[in-house]
Amino acid sequence: MDTKLVVADFEDWREAVAEAIAVLEGDGVVALPTETVYGLAADAFNAEAVARVFEVKERPSFDPLIVHIGHKRDLDLVAKVPEELEEVVDELVEAHWPGPLTLVLPKREDVPDLVTSGLGTVAVRLSAHEVMRAVAREIPIAAPSANRFGRISPTSAQAVMEELGGKIPLVIDGGACRDGLESTIVAPEMTEKGPILRLLRPGPIPKEELRKIAKVVKPKRSKEDHVEAPGQIESHYAPATPLVVVERPEDFIPEEGLRYGLLSYRGEGKGSLMEATEWAHTEVMSPGKGKLAEGAVRLFYCLRSLDAAGVDVIVAEAVSETGVGVAMMDRLRRAAAGSKK
C-alpha cells in the first residue's frame, strides 16, 4: 500500500480535512495530528474500521481507545454524564477543552464495545488541534497514537511515516505536536465527601491544575487489575534499544565495550550525566534552560533520535516529578520496562 502524505498548512488545511473525511467515510483509517501526539483515526461508530486500527497497530483488544469529538456539546453523543457529576464535568470541560484532557465516563450503548475494550466506560476528549477537531465535527473519531503498539509515540508526520508507512492510506501533516505527551486522563467519581478525579494517566495538564476543580486521587494498581484507560500498561512508549532511567548520577556505572546514548534533561547542572562517560550520541530535551514544558515536547523526538543512533543502551536522566515532569517520568519508566521485553 502506498501511503499518501498531505500537508495541512495555513492555506489549505480544509482540503486536507476533506481528504481525511473521505477515507474515514470509506471505512478506512488515517493518521491525524493533535496537540499531544499523532493519532491513528477511524470512525468511532464503525466497528470494522476500529478493528483496522487495532490490526495496523498490532494493539491488544483489551487496551481501550480514546474517542475524539468536535464540539463540547458532542460529549452527549458518546457518554452519559451522571447527574451528580454534571457540575464537576462542566468545570473540567470549561477549563480544559479544547485541550489535552481526556474524561472517562459511562458510555452510550451505540459506542462499539471494541472501542472501549468491553468496558462500560468510554474515554473522550476534544482536541485543541484544528485539523483533528474539524474532522471530529463530521465524524467522532476513535484514535490511539499512530505507531506500532508499545513503541515511541509520534510527534511529527515523519515519525508516523516511519512507523506506519505502507500500512495506512493517508497521513495528514499538521506540523510538530505542541505538547508532545499524550493527554491527561481522569475519571470523575462522586464519593460521600464530594467529587474526586481518579488520575488514570498523567499528561500535559498536571494534577496541580486539576486540584483547582476537585480532589485528585492516583489509584493503586496491581498487575492483575484490568486496564481502564490507554497508557496504563506497564511497558509502553518503548524504543527498540534497551533504555535505563538513572535517578542519581552516582548510580550510573558504564560497562566497558558498550556504546551509550544519553537522553539528558538540560545538558548541564545538577543531576547531569554529560561528563559521566564518553557518549556515542546525546540528545538534550531542554538545552540549558531546564524547562519541563520544553522537555515534554521534545521527549519522544529525542527518544526516536537515540533509538536510530545505533547505540547499545540509552541512558535517560531523571527529571523533577513536579508539574508535567510527573508525566515525563511516567513515560520514561514505562519505556524502560518496555525496552527490556
- CATH code of the domain in which 37 resides: 3.90.870.10
Backbone angles phi, psi at 69, to 5 degrees: -115, 165
User: Looking at the predicted structure, is the pLDDT value of residue 341 above 60?
Assistant: no
Whether the pLDDT of residue 119 is over 90: the answer is yes
Q: Is residue 87 part of a domain?
A: no
Which CATH number is 267's domain given? Answer: 3.40.50.11030
Q: Residue 233's pLDDT is what?
A: 82
What span, in angstroms and rounded, lies between the C-alpha atoms of 143 and 20?
13
pLDDT of residue 271: 78
Q: Are residues 30 and 135 in the same domain?
A: yes
pTM value? Answer: 0.94
Q: Is the dihedral of CA 101, 104, 109, 110 positive or negative?
A: positive
How much is the CA Rg of the chain, to the nearest whole Å? Answer: 20
In a domain, 227, yes or no: no
Q: How many domains does the chain have?
A: 2
Last residue of a domain, one of 139, 154, 173: 173
**pLDDT tens by residue, 13-38:** 899 999 999 999 999 999 999 999 99
Residues 187, 198 contacting (CB under 8 angstroms): yes
Is 313 inside a domain boundary? yes
In tens, the pLDDT along 76-100 reads 999 999 999 999 999 999 999 999 9
> Are 11 and 146 contained in the same domain?
yes
Q: What is the tens place of the pLDDT at every residue in 226-265?
A: 788 888 887 788 899 999 999 988 999 999 999 999 999 9
Q: Is the peptide bond before 144 cis (omega within 30 degrees of 0)?
A: no
Domain identity same for 274 and 137: no
User: Which pLDDT value is given to residue 285?
Assistant: 96
Between 289 and 149, the more confident residue is: 149
**Per-residue pLDDT, 268:** 85
Secondary structure string (H, E, C) spanning 181-202:
CCCEEEEEEEECCEEEEEEEEC
Task: Note whether residue 51 is domain-resident.
Answer: yes
Last residue of a domain, one of 143, 173, 203: 173
Domain assignment of residue 232, yes or no: no
Show the cell assigned to 281. Answer: 550520541
Where does a domain end: 173, 192, 223? Answer: 173
CA distance 207 to 218: 10
Same domain, 168 and 45: yes
For 108-145, b/e burial (b = at least 16 CB within 10 A) is eeebbebbbbebebbbbbbbbbbbbbbbbeebbbbbbb
The boundaries of the domain holding residue 263 are 243-339
Beta carbons within 8 Å of 27's beta carbon, 6+ residues apart: 43, 46, 48, 49, 52
- Asked if the structure places residue 219 within a domain, the reply is no
Pair 22, 144 in one domain:
yes
Residue 121 lies in a domain: yes
Q: Are 248 and 139 part of one and the same domain?
A: no
Judgement on whether residues 65 and 154 belong to the same structural domain of the protein = yes
Residue 236 falls inside a structural domain: no
Please answer whether residues 31 and 22 qualify as being in contact, where contact means their C-beta atoms are separated by less than 8 angstroms.
no
Give per-residue burial for 256-279: e unless 16+ CB within 10 Å, then b: eeeebbbbbbbbeeebbbbebeeb
Same domain, 121 and 36: yes
The rounded distance, in Å, linking the Cα atoms of 316 and 332 is 8
**Same domain (yes/no): 248, 158:** no
C-alpha cell at 164: 506506519
Which residues, 6+ apart, have CB-to-CB distance to 62 below 8 Å?
A: 117, 226, 227
- Judged by average pLDDT, the poorest of 13-27, 78-92, 183-197, 285-299 is 285-299
137 shares a domain with 14 = yes
Instruction: Say yes or no: 23 and 150 in one domain.
Output: yes
CB 112 within 8 A of CB 45: yes
Does residue 161 sit in the same domain as residue 252?
A: no
200 φ, ψ to 5°? -90, -25
